């Protein structure tokens, strides 16, 4: 069976005026199903760029990206949208909830774009909100919730479509340490109990150490890639 | 995402920027209202014009007969023929029927202005010397008694119009059979007409007229002369040919006359074409306001797209396709202009109602301007919403998310 994700010689260049910046510098990376991966590195090292590329939100300048053994460079925008919708879930530092819609509507969005009808979407959104102990906030809009609550809603939205991979870019970056711990526990549970692949960018070394695999990025290059087993050894 | 869901989303989004949405829809409202008001106002006017002729029919023609003034004074024979040309007699006017087989009946009439008195009170009105054909052609209905006739010869009988009747009633409970003085003669009222709907084909107000037998008119005044003849024609008569036939007839039998023709069909046609020009012109103005309204919608939608880049990014990230994004903005624009359209149609109808009241027209609701108002407002929304929506759909997920990260 082919690995879940295979990056081969991926580069990403940003050209701003005269300067050219290599945000991803010939990256090779393999991630299997059911992994819990932390991506760490200095600010500006290319962590987010890597996560966005993996999450099909951004396109690499060159190289090959096989998702479930299939080259994604050949896919058009609509096929990429479908893949994100069916296989991926996202959580960001800034939550990225729709400000004009309440928690339920934010959570059910991926299902609506999948063509699931309104009632079923609502029902499933309620179930997932309940699972994240957010039932109380179902009719609240983002500006009526705390950061931790908003992140839970964002995670509920990431999970409602039952994705294979959950991407998180500094999901606790805007939260205090107690709330951070609760949110990280949600991701660890996802990995342990629901057997999902979780890929998380973080600044926090304590969080990174809780993950089974830690990838260190520097100047767009993977400089270190250790798994738990190796760390313990 | 299905259409219903798109509409709900549109309502939520528009609702959260209420004031702005309302201002944007206002432009469409004004545009739609002017289109609806102008077109339905125009239709009311045409209807009004048509209505006048509906009762009488359009197969009517009037001829005004004048004695030709000599154009060439140097030619003595011509001059003498002009001066000696006598007025048209009643018999000559009636014989005009032989000019064309398209003429079915003829009503010559003489109009006179003479002081009238009823029981010592002055009564104002036109005196018309007529025959029974006028009643028939003008569809005059009797309230009481009978109309004057050629058979009355030069008897002193008269028939009064409805307004005269109302005036006389002030002085006498039952004017029927009573006497009224016209000039120096005394007439007996033998008939009263019901109210007659004003018609631009005949200039006299028949409600304000006193009808006397045509031969009697010659006795009342030495100036009495037949200047006007009304003809009833066969349906579908060729007016130009008929005018030629009549002109030829006059040249042969009653020379030295200048004729002025007017046909109901022509009056109606010119009224309708004037109305159409007006409607088109006003519709054009409405179109311009819609254009301005549409640009307003486009402007608001462009602002909205720029402001909601993050939302677009989020939607793309969770699986929205380009066409979903495009639909979202397009439907918002359409919903916006549709609401503007509804309000505009209502407002436009109110304006045309006010016009009808002001002009004293019968108010009716025509479906065409309403339908047109809706269609045009929705089309405006689609047309002017398309570009912003297209622009939104071109954005890439990461571009839209990065901005705020
Ligand atoms: N759209 C862009 N245009 C130009 N340069 C960009 C663009 N996006 C990112 N970069 C550059 O690419 C590099 C990598 O950026 P990236 O956001 O991946 O860093 P990061 O590791 O996530 O940093 P942080 O920890 O601060 O979030 C940075 O130097 C950044 O300035
Ligand atoms: Mg980053």
A148-191 pLDDT, tens digit per residue, is 999 999 999 999 999 999 999 999 988 899 999 999 999 999 99
User: Of the candidates B242, B269, B296, which is a domain's last residue?
Assistant: B269
Residue B337 alpha carbon to ligand 1 centre in Å: 41
CA distance B103 to B10: 67
Domain count within chain B: 2
Same domain, B247 and B277: no
Chain B: nearest CA to A228, how far in angstroms?
31
Answer yes or no: is A25 within a domain. Answer: no
Answer yes or no: is B354 within a domain. Answer: yes
pLDDT of residue B278: 77
B interface with A, Cβ–Cβ below 8 Å: 1-2, 4-5, 12-13, 16, 310-311, 313-324, 396-398, 401, 404-405
Least confident of A30-34, B358-362, B386-390: B358-362
Taking contacts as CB-CB distances below 8 angstroms, the residues of chain A near B395 are none
Least confident of B43-47, B319-323, B362-366: B43-47
CA distance B28 to B301: 14
Tokens 């007409």 correspond to B193
* Closest among B346, B255, B331 to B297, alpha carbons compared: B331
The ipTM estimated for the assembled molecules is 0.94
Supply the DSSP string of A99-149, one letter for each residue.
Answer: TTS-HHHHHHHHHHHHT--HHHHHHHHHHHHHHTT-GGGTT--GGGS-HHH
Residues B194-207 have pLDDT tens digits of 998 877 677 788 99
Average pLDDT over residues B255-275: 83
Answer yes or no: is A94 within a domain. Answer: yes
Average pLDDT over residues A33-53: 95
Same domain, B297 and B383: yes
Helices (H), B101-253: 132-137, 162-169, 214-220, 239-253
pLDDT of residue B160: 95
Same domain, B230 and B174: yes
In this predicted model, which residue has the larger pLDDT, B286 or B251? B251
Answer yes or no: is B118 within a domain. Answer: yes
* Closest among B188, B238, B228 to B211, alpha carbons compared: B188
Compute the Cα dihedral for B397, B399, B403, B405 and give only its sign: positive
Whether the per-residue pLDDT at B216 is higher than 80: the answer is yes
Residues paired with residue A29 on neighbouring β-strands, in sequence order: A7
> B318 vs A118: CB contact, 8 Å cut-off?
no
> A96 vs B317: CB contact, 8 Å cut-off?
yes
Same domain, B38 and B142: no
Closest ligand (CA of B402): 1
Using most ligand atoms within 8 A of CB, pick from A41, A42, A46, A59 the residue to mutate for ligand 1: A46
- Expressed as residue numbers, the domain containing B379 is 3-54+272-400
Whether the per-residue pLDDT at A126 is higher than 90: the answer is yes
Whether the per-residue pLDDT at B77 is higher than 60: the answer is no
Answer yes or no: is B195 within a domain. Answer: yes
pLDDT of residue B85: 54
Residues B328-366 have pLDDT tens digits of 999 999 999 999 999 999 999 999 999 889 888 888 888
pLDDT of residue B284: 85
CA distance B23 to A88: 40
Number of helical H runs and strand E runs in chain A = 8, 10
Chain A: nearest CA to B337, how far in angstroms?
21
Average pLDDT over residues B215-241: 90
User: Of the candidates B225, B241, B269, which is a domain's last residue?
Assistant: B269
Name the residue in chain B with its Cα closest to that of A109: B318
Token reading at B3: 């259409």
Ligand 1 within 6 A of CB of A47 = yes
Atom 6 of ligand 1, residue of closest alpha carbon: A14
pLDDT confidence bin for B254, thresholds 50/70/90 = confident
pLDDT of residue B314: 95
Answer yes or no: is B235 within a domain. Answer: yes
pTM of the model: 0.76
CATH number of domain containing A156: 3.40.50.300
Domain count within chain A: 1
pLDDT of residue B130: 94
Contact present, B14 and B262 (Cβ < 8 Å): no
Whether the per-residue pLDDT at B383 is higher than 60: the answer is yes
pLDDT confidence bin for B299, thresholds 50/70/90 = very high
pLDDT confidence bin for B69, thresholds 50/70/90 = low
Residue B318 alpha carbon to ligand 1 centre in Å: 22
Compute the Cα dihedral for B272, B273, B279, B282 and give only its sign: negative
Whether the per-residue pLDDT at B87 is higher than 60: the answer is yes
Whether the per-residue pLDDT at A30 is higher than 80: the answer is yes
Atom 5 of ligand 1, residue of closest alpha carbon: A14
Q: B91 to each of B67, B243, B254, how far by Cα in Å?
A: 18, 20, 12
CA distance B380 to B358: 31
CA distance B166 to B174: 10
Q: Which residues have C-beta within 8 Å of that of residue B247, sequence separation ≥ 6?
A: B259
pLDDT confidence bin for A21, thresholds 50/70/90 = very high
- Expressed as residue numbers, the domain containing A146 is 35-54+81-232
Answer yes or no: is A59 within a domain. Answer: no
Least confident of B184-193, B235-244, B282-291, B375-384: B282-291
Supply the DSSP string of A46-97, one letter for each residue.
Answer: SHHHHHHHHTTSS--SEEEEEETTEEGGG--HHHHHHHHHHHEEEEETT---
Answer yes or no: is B308 within a domain. Answer: yes
Average pLDDT over residues B25-48: 86
Answer yes or no: is A8 within a domain. Answer: no
Burial class (CB in 10 A: 0-12, 13-18, 19+), B153: exposed
> B318 vs A97: CB contact, 8 Å cut-off?
no
Average pLDDT over residues B77-82: 42
Taking contacts as CB-CB distances below 8 angstroms, the residues of chain B near A93 are 405
Average pLDDT over residues B315-322: 94
Taking contacts as CB-CB distances below 8 angstroms, the residues of chain B near A50 are none
Same domain, B206 and B295: no
How many alpha carbons fall within 13 Å on the CB side of residue B364? 13
Name the residue in chain B with its Cα closest to that of A163: B318
pLDDT of residue B76: 41
> A84 vs B13: CB contact, 8 Å cut-off?
no
Answer yes or no: is B405 within a domain. Answer: no
Distance between first and last Cα of chain B:
27
What is the DSSP pairing of strand B103-112 with strand B60-67? unpaired
Average pLDDT over residues B232-259: 89
Same domain, B72 and B113: yes
Same domain, B215 and B351: no
Same domain, B158 and B173: yes
Answer yes or no: is B31 within a domain. Answer: yes
Atom 3 of ligand 1, residue of closest alpha carbon: A14
Same domain, B261 and B321: no
Taking contacts as CB-CB distances below 8 angstroms, the residues of chain B near A115 are 1-2
Burial B165-174 (b: 16+ CB within 10 A, else e): bebbeeeeee
Distance between first and last Cα of chain A:
28
Same domain, B153 and B262: yes
pLDDT of residue B78: 42
CA distance A154 to A165: 15
CA distance A221 to A199: 17
pLDDT of residue B274: 80
pLDDT confidence bin for B176, thresholds 50/70/90 = very high
Whether the per-residue pLDDT at A228 is higher than 90: the answer is no
Same domain, B80 and B228: yes
- The three-class DSSP label of residue B125 is coil
Residue B82 alpha carbon to ligand 2 centre in Å: 108
CA A50 to ligand 1: nearest atom: 18
Average pLDDT over residues A12-41: 94
> A98 vs B314: CB contact, 8 Å cut-off?
yes
Residues B98-156 have pLDDT tens digits of 989 999 999 999 999 999 999 999 999 999 999 999 999 888 999 999 999 989 988 99
User: Of the candidates B223, B244, B269, which is a domain's last residue?
Assistant: B269
Same domain, B195 and B332: no
Answer yes or no: is A97 within a domain. Answer: yes
Residue A24 alpha carbon to ligand 1 centre in Å: 10
Q: Which of A90, A94, A100 sits opposite B317 (nearest CB)?
A: A90
**Mean pLDDT in chain B?**
87
**What torsion do the CA atoms of B318, B322, B328, B333 make, to the nearest 10 degrees?**
150
Answer yes or no: is B157 within a domain. Answer: yes
Average pLDDT over residues B297-306: 93
pLDDT over 90 percentage in chain B: 50
pLDDT of residue A114: 93
CA distance A89 to B229: 92
CA distance A115 to B221: 92
State how far Cα A220 lies from the chain centre. 19
């Amino acid at each position: 069976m082919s690995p879940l994700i295979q990056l081969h010689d991926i580069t990403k260049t940003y050209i701003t005026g005269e300067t050219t910046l290599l945000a991803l510098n010939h990256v090779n990376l393999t991630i299997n199903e059911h992994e819990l991966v932390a991506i760490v590195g200095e600010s500006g090292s290319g962590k987010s760029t890597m996560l966005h590329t993996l999450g099909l939100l951004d396109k690499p300048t060159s190289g090959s990206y096989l998702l479930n053994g299939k080259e994604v460079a050949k896919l058009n925008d609509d096929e990429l949208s479908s893949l994100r919708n069916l296989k991926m879930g996202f959580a960001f530092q800034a939550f990225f909830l729709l400000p004009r819609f309440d928690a339920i509507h934010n959570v059910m969005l991926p299902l609506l774009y999948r063509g699931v009808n309104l009632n079923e979407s609502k029902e499933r959104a309620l179930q997932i909100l309940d699972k994240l102990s957010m039932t109380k906030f179902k009719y609240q809009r983002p500006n009526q919730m705390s950061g931790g609550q908003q992140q839970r809603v964002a995670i509920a939205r990431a999970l409602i479509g039952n994705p294979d991979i959950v991407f998180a870019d500094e999901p606790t970056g805007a939260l205090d340490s107690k709330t951070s711990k609760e949110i990280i526990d949600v991701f660890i549970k996802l990995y342990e109990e629901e057997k999902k692949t979780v890929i998380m960018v973080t600044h926090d070394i304590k969080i990174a150490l809780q993950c089974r695999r830690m990838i260190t990025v520097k100047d767009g290059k993977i400089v270190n890639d250790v798994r738990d087993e190796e760390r313990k050894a | 995402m299905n259409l219903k869901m798109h509409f709900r989303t549109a309502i939520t989004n528009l609702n959260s920027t209420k004031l702005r949405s309302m201002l944007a829809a206002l432009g469409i409202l004004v545009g739609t209202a002017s289109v609806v008001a102008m077109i339905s106002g125009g239709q009311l006017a045409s209807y009004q014009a048509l209505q006048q002729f509906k009762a009488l029919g359009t197969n009517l023609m009037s001829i005004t007969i004048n004695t030709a003034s000599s154009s060439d004074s140097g030619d003595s024979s011509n001059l003498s023929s002009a001066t000696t040309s006598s007025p048209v007699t009643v018999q000559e006017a009636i014989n005009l029927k032989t000019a064309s087989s398209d003429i079915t009946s003829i009503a010559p009439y003489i109009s006179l202005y003479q002081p009238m008195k009823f029981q010592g009170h002055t009564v104002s009105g036109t005196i018309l010397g007529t025959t029974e054909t006028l009643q028939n052609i003008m569809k005059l209905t009797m309230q009481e008694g009978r109309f004057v006739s050629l058979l009355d010869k030069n008897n002193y009988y008269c028939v009064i119009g409805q307004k005269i009747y109302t005036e006389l009633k002030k002085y006498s409970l039952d004017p029927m059979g009573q006497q009224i003085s016209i000039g120096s003669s005394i007439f007996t009222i033998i008939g009263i007409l019901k109210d007659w709907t004003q018609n631009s084909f005949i200039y006299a107000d028949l409600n304000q007229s006193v009808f006397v037998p045509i031969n009697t008119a010659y006795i009342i005044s030495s100036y009495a002369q037949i200047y006007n003849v009304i003809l009833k024609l066969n349906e579908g008569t060729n007016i130009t040919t008929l005018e030629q036939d009549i002109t030829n007839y006059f040249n042969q039998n009653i020379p030295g006359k200048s004729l002025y023709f007017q046909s109901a069909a022509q009056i109606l046609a010119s009224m309708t074409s004037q109305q159409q020009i007006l409607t088109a012109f006003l519709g054009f103005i409405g179109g311009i306001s819609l254009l301005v309204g549409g640009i307003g919608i486009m402007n608001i939608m462009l602002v909205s797209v720029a402001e909601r880049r993050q939302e677009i990014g989020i939607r793309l990230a969770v699986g929205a396709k380009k066409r979903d994004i495009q639909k979202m903005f397009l439907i918002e624009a359409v919903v916006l202009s549709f609401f503007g359209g509804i309000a505009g149609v209502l407002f436009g109808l109110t304006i045309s109602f006010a016009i009808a009241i002001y002009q004293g027209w019968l108010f009716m609701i025509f479906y065409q301007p309403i339908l047109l108002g809706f269609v045009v407002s929705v089309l405006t929304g689609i047309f002017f919403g398309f570009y912003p929506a297209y622009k939104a759909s071109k954005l890439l997920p990461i571009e839209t998310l990065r901005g705020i990260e």
